[in-house]
Structure 1
């Protein structure tokens, strides 16, 4: 627990809790919890912002590659189906061509 949070809790116990003191306690507790969570995740150092930006860029690239792969797959499926349909039409209407 941070020193400021401990001080605020002491004030609350001594004087009773007014709205400003309670608000300050909540803010300090939230900040302490956020700092603890970032530390546990390994994101409390100076390079953490850059690391998160790189991870977001990597994730965006992965999503774009996934979309591109699906589009390419469906493009190939459409081409194969079109080829099969056209070959079927050619056999049905003009089978004499290949004899």
Structure 2
């Protein structure tokens, strides 16, 4: 029996009974079945219902992690170059201030 048939049977069973603990269990089972069906439908619409979906998600996570690492590395490199440039300008400024540039000409 597939999930659609199961949900239909549970709904019929719940309608024909009165509000008893068993009917509450039936209602809970209906909700669980409906939520699983909805989740499966959503995954199917996203193209993640096949057997390779787990591998696809793992690969996407790897790519995202690599992108974040590359972005972090790029910012670190930019900051390193900016700091080096500022230090070089500071050294040139000190050299000019001390008059060390006269000996170069």
Taking structure 2 as the reference length, the TM-score comes to 0.88
1:88 counterpart (90, 93, 97)? 93
The count of residues paired between Structure 1 and Structure 2 equals 99
The aligned counterpart of 1:79 is 84
The aligned counterpart of 2:14 is 12
CA RMSD of aligned residues (A): 1.3
Superposition misfits of 4+ residues, deviation over 6 angstroms: none
Taking structure 1 as the reference length, the TM-score comes to 0.93
Unaligned 5+ runs, structure 1: none
**Are 1:97 and 2:84 an aligned pair?**
no
Name the one with the larger helix percent. 1
Unaligned 5+ runs, structure 2: none
The aligned counterpart of 1:22 is 27
